[in-house]
Structure formats: structure tokens, C-alpha cells
A and B are shown apart, each in its own frame.
Chain A
Amino acid sequence: MALTINNLSKQFAGFAALNDISFSVKESEFIALLGPSGSGKTTLLRMLAGLDYPDKGSIDFKGQNFLSLPVKERKIGMVFQSYALFRHMTVAKNIAFGLEMRGKNKPKKEEINETINRLLKLVQLEGFEKRYPAQLSGGQRQRVALARALAINPSLLLLDEPFGALDAMVRKELRRWLRHIHDETGLTTIFVTHDQEEALDLADRIVLLEGGKIAQYDTADKIINHPKSEFVFDFVGSGNAADADIKGDVANINGCEFPVVNLTNFSGRQKVKFRNYDALISNEEKGIKAQLTGIFASTGFLRFEAVDNAGHHLEIIISERNFDHSLKVGDHVGILPQKAYLF
């Protein structure tokens, strides 16, 4: 394990920002710290960087006790949401800053120039050396920020909501590109995000935080298909709730039978949850009786809104290919979950 975090806790004015956090990261792994605001993800990242300290616990990085090392000795590359580029320095000076700070071990001028050129090539900004941050777009600034972080040859790359200030298109593009750079450099990388799509798309494993605790630490596939709690289920995607009769690992709603994925010891009438894409809509008198209140077209799928007899709102997504064109708003339908979760 490259990075091992044990029992990390931190109190802020009476509330627990971090509560007994333990997990470990493998060499070259790409980890996302995901969670709603206030879940402690940024606090955790700041502790890894040495900008904040826990009340309890330990951080071990490749055999070093990280908490005993000041920021400058941790050799971390950090990228901020606001880019935090030095506005009075050119792109080249920004990238060289970490090397200039080495004092006696400062590399020779040619070496620094070589590093600048190599990194500008890596972040696809050749020819931008003499520009100032104000003359760059948001996406370009973030790429300079990454180049600057990589210049010190860090052993750990930390990114705090790196794409948070960018628009959707640039965001998606930079996301793939960051993954590409990670795969090329093999650098152990930890990034903070509140965007579950970003985390699921990008990371090898995801630390999903809830109120300062780890709700689940898993791969994207496990988090999506085997959520450990209702919070995890709700946070990573949309879902619906319904009452069902449980027998073993099979649930039954009004003649519609479907499996419960996470085996439990529950039986009798229970609230189950199912994903909006894990259901069908039928004209039969089966499943959840509901009335369609809206049909919305999107690229590749249709989104249905419905209200069941008890007044609960439901949302179902059906691929355009499987769409039954006879359905209209106002129709009384049966919603048939295909699989469900019970927490």
C-alpha cells in the first residue's frame, strides 16, 4: 500500500468534520473523494497536503509518517479549484516556481527550461510560456496548474475540485485528459469532487463520504450496483421507493416479482428502492399502480414521471428503442421494477 490512513478524526467547533476515517490506497491508484458539501472531503485532502491537521489518527505514505512532515517536505503536487496560478508570473515562471524554491538543490537553468518544455508539451500548451494567467481560458489555466504541480516531480498528486469552475464541455474533455495523464505518469492521485458522475467515470476507487464518515470505499461498479447504504444508493443516482412483500431474496408488488440484490434477513412488507432505469412500464394491472404525469424526451432515452395511488412521485427512464409509443400522459399504468435494494 502506498498510502495508509488510520482512524483520522477532526472536530471543528463541536462538530466532527472527520470521524474515524481509515482507508488505504495502492501505488498508482486514482482515487476520488466524493461526497456532499460538509462531508469532510476537502478537510481530508488538506490533511494529506499538510495544510490541516487531525486531532487523532495517522497518515502513512510509503513508510513515512506524513503528519510529522511539514507541507514542503511531503513532495505533493496540489491543484486547486481556483487554479491559484501566480497572476504576476508568466506560465513558464509559474511552472518553474517549485523548482526555484529548492534553494541549494535548485536545478540548473537549462534543466528548468527542459522541465518547462516537457510539461507544456504534456499539457498541450506549447508556445504559451510567455503568457500570463489572465490571458488564458479556464481550461488552459487548470492545465498550467497541473503542469506546475507536476514540475516538482511529486510522489502524490492531490486535486481539489479541479474542474468545478469549468463549463460542462471543457469539464468532460479535461476529465478524460487527466485520466490519460495519470495513466502516462503512473502517479498516485487523489481528487475531491461532489460530482458523482465525475468520480464514477474517472476513479479506480471512490471514497464516498457522509458527514465525516466513509459510507463506502469501492470501485465505481460496486458503488453503483452494490451500494452499502441508502445514502450511497441515493447519492450516486436517482431512484424510487415502493412497498413490497419480501420473501427470501424476492420482492413482490401486486403480482410483479423481482429480485432484491443485497440479500437481507428482512421479510414481510418492506420499503424497497429501485433505480429509475431498473423498471418497465406496462398496461397490465401489475406492479405499482400509477398514473403518468409527464413524458420527456432526451437523447437516447425517455423520462416518465408518474404518481402512485398514495401520491408518491416516481421517475422511470426507458431507452428510446424500447419505448411503447402508445403511452400518453394521464394513462393508468403498472410500473414493474426489475431489481431492487433493501436497506
Chain B
Amino acid sequence: MRRKAAKRPEKLTDYTLIIFAFFWMALIIFLPLMSVLFNAFKGGLPKYLETFADPDAMDALKLTLLVTAIVLPLNIIFGIASAWAITRFEFVGKTILLSIIDLPFSLSPVISGLVWVLMFGAQGWFGEFLQAHDIDVIYALPGIVLATLLVTLPFVARELIPLMDDNGTDEEVAAVTLGASGWDVFFRITLPNIKWALLYGVLLCMARAMGEFGAVSVVSGHIRGLTNTLPLHIEVAYNEYNTIGAFGAATILVGLAFVTLAIKTILEWRYADELSAQHRH
């Protein structure tokens, strides 16, 4: 069934509504983002490029990329495994698992950071044990990774679950009857059917992992060159009146956001095409 297509605007009110939508977007999203570029290039290109010579900024970028590189594969594995478990098996506690996966969406990022401090901080449950064995979790890389993991946990799974549910298991069972092994079924049937949704989830997860501020801020300790991620570095630079440095670093994050958006748009276009082909009869 085809839904009725949108019509061309006719009345003045139609045009007013459209213009308002554009105006609102410009005011709330476009203008502030432009101000980032404006401020970054305020001192000219050479000054802007100095941002990339700042070792603290570069350490922050490296740390951000490192955290993302650790978190992303873990989320992909967890996302696929949990989506598989939820859509392929009936078990007690399935609804609980489904709700828990969604929890990070509604949880304040501060809480997502604080819970790790409560567990692994000096006064936390495992604090004494960790101190005794000289293991740093809080104010170190493991803490940042854990906080980012918690915040980004639902992205991949949430993209996969509805799609895998919709696809059902018939194709996989058919492949098994045709002699396919477990690996063959996964790589030749399951994965091709979920690849766009998976990529989409990975992109969302990546954007969030790189940009997360709140949760990471709680566990990081803001140690320059060591535990400052890019968003934290931006805040520190800004607070020290290093406007060009702050906005220069911010352009990296904004750039990442635009790249993600571009890929996402292309994917949605491809993915929607494929989805509608799947449902065409």
C-alpha cells in the first residue's frame, strides 16, 4: 500500500510553515555550528592550524580515537550477539534484557560515569582491591572506556533487533537444510541482510563515542595529555580563554559529525531502497 504523497504548498500558511521550519533549523543548529567555524578561523588559517600543533590537543584526539577503537568492536560484538539472542530465542527474562538495553538512552550521562566511580573509585566497592594491586580504572583509560561503553551500548543492538525480528529465521533455517554450516549461515545469510542496519548503528555509536562528554568527564580526572578526550580538551581550553584552541579542536568534532551525517544520509538512502525492495510484493 502506498501512502498519499505530500502535496505542493498552496496557501500562505503552507509557505509560512515551511519558512518557519527553515528559520528554526538555521537558528538552533546551523548558526551555532557556523559560529564554531567563525571562531576557529578568527585569527586566520595559521593560528587555526596551531591547534593541531598543540600536543595536548593531539593527545586528546589520540585518546578519543583509541577509546572509540576499543568501544566500537565491543559494541558490534555485543550488539550482534544480543540481537541474535533476543530475536532467535524465547527465554525467561527476554523483556528485562530488552528494557535494560534501552536504559542508557534514558540515563543521565553523569550517572553513567558516576556508577563506575562508585564501583572502582578509591571509596568504591572494588577500590581497596584495585589499590592493593596497583590497578588504575578511574582517572585512567579503563574508566573512560567503561563509561563510553555504557553510554553507547544500545546503538548497534537497537538498530539490529527490529530488523532481525522482521526478517525472521526462515532464511537461516533454509540455508541449514541446504547444507550451510553455522559460519556460512551467519556470513552468507544473516550478515548480508543486516549489513546496512549494522553500519548505521556503528556510525551512530561512533559519533556518540567520540563526542561523549558527561560520563567521561566524571571518570576522566581531566589529566592533560593523559585522560583528556577531545570533548574534555575543548572545555579545558575554553575555560582558559584559549578560544581559538577550543574552537579549533571543536572543528574536528564538528567535522566528524558532518562526515557521519553524510555517510548516514547515503546509507539511509541505500538502506531505504533495499528495505522497500524487501517489502515490495
A135 to chain B, nearest CB (A): 8
What chain A residues lie within 8 Å of B177 (beta carbons)?
Answer: 49-51, 71-72, 76-78, 149
**Are B179 and A98 interface neighbours, CB within 8 A?**
yes
Chain A contributes a number of interface residues (CB within 8 A of B) equal to 27
B57 to chain A, nearest CB (A): 44
- Among the listed A78, A80, A132, A145, which residue makes an inter-chain contact with B277, where contact means beta carbons less than 8 Å apart? A132
Q: How many A-B residue pairs have CB under 8 A?
A: 64
- Among the listed B168, B178, B279, which residue makes an inter-chain contact with A97, where contact means beta carbons less than 8 Å apart? B178
- Among the listed A49, A101, A132, which residue makes an inter-chain contact with B179, where contact means beta carbons less than 8 Å apart? A101
Asked if B174 CB lies within 8 Å of chain A CBs, one says yes
What range describes how many residues of B lie at the interface?
20 to 34
Asked if A152 CB lies within 8 Å of chain B CBs, one says yes
**Are A134 and B280 interface neighbours, CB within 8 A?**
yes
B164 to chain A, nearest CB (A): 13
**Are B168 and A72 interface neighbours, CB within 8 A?**
no
**Are A82 and B184 interface neighbours, CB within 8 A?**
no
A78–B172 Cα distance when bound, in Å, is 12
**Are B193 and A84 interface neighbours, CB within 8 A?**
no
Asked if B204 CB lies within 8 Å of chain A CBs, one says no
A77–B176 Cα distance when bound, in Å, is 11
A299 to chain B, nearest CB (A): 30
Contact residues, A118-156 vs B (CB, 8 A)? 132, 134-135, 138, 145, 148-149, 152
A106–B177 Cα distance when bound, in Å, is 16
Asked if A271 CB lies within 8 Å of chain B CBs, one says no
Q: Please name the 10 residue pairs, one residue from A and one from B, whose CB atoms are nearest each other, closest first.
A: A98-B178, A84-B170, A84-B174, A101-B179, A78-B177, A72-B179, A88-B192, A134-B277, A134-B280, A82-B170
A84-B174, A148-B174 given; name 11 further pairs at CB < 8 Å: A51-B177, A72-B177, A77-B177, A80-B170, A85-B171, A87-B278, A97-B175, A101-B175, A138-B281, A145-B174, A152-B178
Q: List 20 A-B contacts (CB under 8 A).
A: A51-B173, A51-B176, A51-B177, A71-B176, A76-B177, A78-B177, A82-B170, A84-B170, A84-B174, A85-B174, A86-B175, A86-B189, A87-B193, A87-B278, A97-B188, A101-B180, A101-B181, A134-B280, A149-B178, A152-B179
